[in-house]
Amino acid sequence: MASEIGIGVIGMGWMGQVHSRSYRQIQDRFVDRGIRPQLVICADEAEPRALDGQSRFGFERTTTDWREVIDDPRVGAISVTTPNNVHLEIAEAAAAAGKHMYCEKPVGRNPAETAAVEACARAAGVLSLVGYNYRWAPLVQHAHKLIAAGKLGELTHYRGCFLIGYANNPDGVLSWRFQRELAGLGTLGDLMSHVIDMAHFLYGPIARVGAPFTPVPFAPSLEKAYLPSADDVVAAVRRVME
Ligand SMILES: NC(=O)c1ccc[n+]([C@@H]2O[C@H](COP(=O)([O-])OP(=O)(O)OC[C@H]3O[C@@H](n4cnc5c(N)ncnc54)[C@H](O)[C@@H]3O)[C@@H](O)[C@H]2O)c1
């Protein structure tokens, strides 16, 4: 008989939905682990998102106040899938309440916040996991095995870049990602943290770092802007690749 663990998800946007969908698959895909996640409560400060999460994934109840998730005695583990500015506060409350946590990356808006989350999780003795999902991709796992077996010899250089197009339209939504107070380190935290995690996973630790600086002329902004042409996008990608 599988043992049940109560799950609370805080922040029901993109990642909150991804985490919720994944919890529903655990009992089926990892049947030998004997664990059955029970979706107890989901929170979003935007109530329609919380209600949508409930109807899509079957959470027993919803709230607009994330503290109710922590306070629910049935919840044993939480997902922190809010924007970065609230990760630390939620993690501290969760650790104090003895809840295990799966926090999305970047854990903090800056290294100090990330270290504070690690410290509170360690002090409370709760399990913690960060959403560096690319290391689980089969190709990356295979590369990891090849490197660990010495098949690629001694590695001296790792070059990583993250190609993505969501910030290429100035008419796009000026979401929390483009606001320092909410996001922290911008693309360094949002995307390059994945690349750095992959370096650590494949062969770390990192001794020296170098990076080209490529200003992107067409990120979302409140100022009048233009829609980049396909040529603009290709040129920007080439600059990153050079
Ligand atoms: N691992 C990955 O590949 C990956 C991909 C995307 C995002 N992320 C990370 O996941 C986190 C969430 O990103 P997202 O893209 O899902 O954002 P999103 O904007 O789609 O969703 C965030 C949700 O949090 C809610 N929210 C904001 N403040 C809240 C609060 N105080 N209490 C409750 N709810 C609140 C918002 O209403 C929104 O519904 C970020 O840390 C982001 O960096 C990770």
Reported confidence tier of residue 225, pLDDT bands at 50, 70, 90: very low
Q: 132 - beta bridge partners?
A: none
Diameter over CA atoms, the chain: 60
Reported confidence tier of residue 122, pLDDT bands at 50, 70, 90: very high
E strand spans, 17-99? 35-43, 61-63, 77-80
Note the pLDDT of residue 219. Answer: 66
The whole-angstrom separation of Cα 90 and Cα 9 is: 11
Q: Which of 21, 44, 78, 175 to mutate to test the pocket of ligand 1 (most atoms within 8 A of CB)?
A: 44
Q: Cα(10) to centroid of ligand 1, in Å?
A: 9
Which atom of ligand 1 is closest in space to residue 13's alpha carbon?
21
Note the pLDDT of residue 217. Answer: 64
Please report, for the chain, the start and end positions of each structural domain, with discontinuous segments joined by +.
Answer: 3-131, 134-241
Q: Is 43 in the pocket of ligand 1 (CB under 6 A)?
A: yes
Q: Is 77 in the pocket of ligand 1 (CB under 6 A)?
A: no
Q: Is 116 helix (H, G, I), strand (E, B) or coil?
A: helix
User: How many other β-carbons are positioned within 10 Å of the β-carbon of residue 177?
Assistant: 20
For the domain spanning 134-241, the CATH number is 3.30.360.10
- Where helices occur in 97-137 by DSSP H, the ranges are 111-124
Q: Sign (positive/negative) of CA torsion 147, 162, 118, 137?
A: negative
Helix (H) or strand (E) holding 96: helix 87-96
Q: Which of 34, 53, 31 is nearest to 42 (CA)?
A: 53
Note the pLDDT of residue 224. Answer: 46
Task: Specify the fold of 3-131.
Answer: Rossmann fold (3.40.50)
Q: Provide CB contacts within 8 A for 163, sequence distance 6+.
A: 237, 240
Residue 104 is classified by DSSP as: P
User: Is it the case that residue 45 has pLDDT exceeding 90?
Assistant: yes
User: And the tokens for 135?
Assistant: 């290391």
Measured between alpha carbons, how far is residue 4 from residues 1, 8, 37, 75, 175 in Å? 9, 13, 6, 10, 36
Helix (H) or strand (E) holding 100: strand 100-103
The whole-angstrom separation of Cα 242 and Cα 240 is: 6
Please provide the average confidence, as pLDDT, over all residues in the chain. Answer: 91
Contact (Cβ atoms closer than 8 angstroms) between residue 25 and residue 6: no
By percentage, how much of the chain surpasses pLDDT 90? Answer: 74
Q: Is 105 in the pocket of ligand 1 (CB under 6 A)?
A: yes
